[in-house]
Structure 1
Amino acid sequence: MDPAASGTLTAESFSLIALFLRADWVVKAVMIGLGLASLFSWAVIIDKLLRFSALNRHADRFEDQVSSGRSLEEIANEAGERPRHALPRMLQAALREWREARTKGLSSDTQAGFLIQRIDRVQDAIIAREASRVEEGLPLLAIVATASPFIGLFGTVWGIMGAFQAIAIQQNTNLTVVAPAIAEALFATAIGLAAAIPAYIAYNKFSSDAARYSGRLEGFADDLATAIQRRLSDRT
């Protein structure tokens, strides 16, 4: 029996489970949708935390290897034929262009300039693909962060409409009539905010992390171009 109808309200009447079970199908649908959105956003958050941590650890190790004084060819060979991470792929691409150009001959400054341009284009393509990969999931966080409060507000408005309907039908403004429906309505808003706030914070953090990682790749590409230019100058 509905506790509001019987006139007996207890603390258990306002538990989260009771509020959900007592809500009508529209408010329930809003709550379930917001709960799923929050679940998906947390899956993205955990994935991004682990992924950026792994990417930065590997980048630190690889940059230490490159700056250790060992030959770039040796480091590239140790990375294997198909490295998973972007930095060794960038190194292998630059060395591949260097070897092809050296095989064909670098008899003029123009050819050397074309080599640097080709290397820059290859590096830019790798950086663009890697940036796209690390930004996967961020649009979902943006959608959850912006849409969840409004969806929760819709559930609240619908629930308050139900409260006014109960007042009109029962012709009773007693809190036992109004309070449960209002609590259910506000619960929808609370779920919307609970879904939106972590998604908003995570979106801003991971957007900054992605931008910093892309900047790190661009800096590494500049270092590779400088190393190739140094080799070209040593040949002249």
Structure 2
Amino acid sequence: MSELNVLDLILEASLLVQLVMGLLLLLSLIGWGLIFRLSAKLGSAKRFDNDFEAWLWSGNTLAKQYSSVANEPERTGLEQVFFVGYGEFLKAQKSGAMRADTLDSVERKFKVAIGKQQAVLEQGLATLASIASVSPYIGLFGTVWGIMTAFIGLSSAESVSLATVAPGIAEALIATAMGLFAAIPASLAFNHFSAKAGALYESRALFCEELTGVFAHEYTMAQRNGRS
């Protein structure tokens, strides 16, 4: 018996099975594109946050650092979080708000800013999860349809042997293989990037807590200087 050629099996498959294979190939390409994009985005976000933290605590006052950040045309990551939080702190101080009210207002701004930055950071994760969960079922549908078509064709055959059954079943199983090929990398990548995004969120939350403590100290010092 001659060896089965995968390309020939795909070309000889029924139209519906070919459409399923084409859809799975498209989903696989989209998944790999998202994997490369998320890898680059999360990696650069982590490096930028580390660089910004090192710059922020480099020795200048927060007021000077805020002025520098305010002059930036675009802000992202911890830079945007700091800008929003310190801006709210200055506004609350000017309005004469109490210490507890000031810190509560700053914390709310921090949560909103982190949430917005996280939403931008995680763009594509939901699509990756959908590819991971749906692709096996699409592949299974193609396989079931292909096997059904193969057995219907065998019903009219004069003699049935392994040589006549194998090509139809093989072309049907290719759809399942392609479904797994699309789903497995997407699933692994989703878990990996979700963990990285979660770790980045926790790091930013700790940064906000540290800044809130610094703001509380600055508020206390400003009150003391005002009374002296």
User: Is 1:66 matched up with 2:60?
Assistant: no
Which amino acid counterpart does residue 38 of structure 2 have in structure 1?
K
CA distance in 2, matches of 1:204, 1:180: 37
Shift of 1:163: 1.9
CA shift digits 1:89-119 (9 cap, x unpaired): 122222222322333336xxxx111111110
Q: Can you give the 5+ residue segments of structure 2 that lack an aligned partner in the other structure? A: none
Which amino acid counterpart does residue 51 of structure 2 have in structure 1?
R
Counterpart of 1:93 in 2: which secondary structure?
Answer: helix
Number of the residue aligned with 1:10:
2
User: Is 1:153 matched up with 2:143?
Assistant: no
Number of the residue aligned with 2:168:
181
Which amino acid counterpart does residue 133 of structure 2 have in structure 1?
T
Which amino acid counterpart does residue 155 of structure 2 have in structure 1?
A
Relative distance call for 1:113 and 1:82 in structure 2 (3 A) is farther
User: Is 1:89 matched up with 2:80?
Assistant: yes
CA shift digits 1:171-205 (9 cap, x unpaired): 32122211111110111110000000001001111
CA shift digits 1:63-87 (9 cap, x unpaired): 1112322222232333334433121
TM-score, normalised to structure 1, is 0.88
User: Is 1:168 matched up with 2:168?
Assistant: no
CA distance in 2, matches of 1:113, 1:81: 30
The 5 A counterparts of 1:153-232 are 153-232=140-219
The one of 104, 118, 124 equivalent to 1:137 is 124
CA distance in 2, matches of 1:128, 1:82: 21
CA distance in 1, matches of 2:166, 2:21: 19
CA distance in 1, matches of 2:59, 2:6: 62
Number of the residue aligned with 1:5:
none
The 5 A counterparts of 1:48-63 are 48-63=38-53
Work out whether residues 27 and 185 of structure 1, in 8 Å CA contact, stay in contact via their aligned partners in 2: yes
Work out whether residues 152 and 189 of structure 1, in 8 Å CA contact, stay in contact via their aligned partners in 2: yes
Number of the residue aligned with 2:93:
102
Which amino acid counterpart does residue 117 of structure 1 have in structure 2?
D
Number of the residue aligned with 2:31:
41
CA shift digits 1:149-180 (9 cap, x unpaired): 11111111111112212221113212221111
Work out whether residues 128 and 186 of structure 2, in 8 Å CA contact, stay in contact via their aligned partners in 1: yes
Q: What is the aligned length?
A: 222
Which amino acid counterpart does residue 225 of structure 1 have in structure 2?
T
The 5 A counterparts of 1:110-129 are 111-129=98-116
Work out whether residues 145 and 195 of structure 1, in 8 Å CA contact, stay in contact via their aligned partners in 2: yes
Which amino acid counterpart does residue 75 of structure 1 have in structure 2?
Q
RMSD of Structure 2 on Structure 1 (CA): 1.6
CA distance in 2, matches of 1:45, 1:173: 46
CA distance in 2, matches of 1:117, 1:48: 33
Shift of 1:228: 0.4
Q: Can you give the 5+ residue segments of structure 1 that lack an aligned partner in the other structure? A: 1-8
Work out whether residues 131 and 186 of structure 2, in 8 Å CA contact, stay in contact via their aligned partners in 1: yes
Work out whether residues 82 and 89 of structure 1, in 8 Å CA contact, stay in contact via their aligned partners in 2: no
Number of the residue aligned with 1:75:
65
Work out whether residues 27 and 131 of structure 2, in 8 Å CA contact, stay in contact via their aligned partners in 1: yes
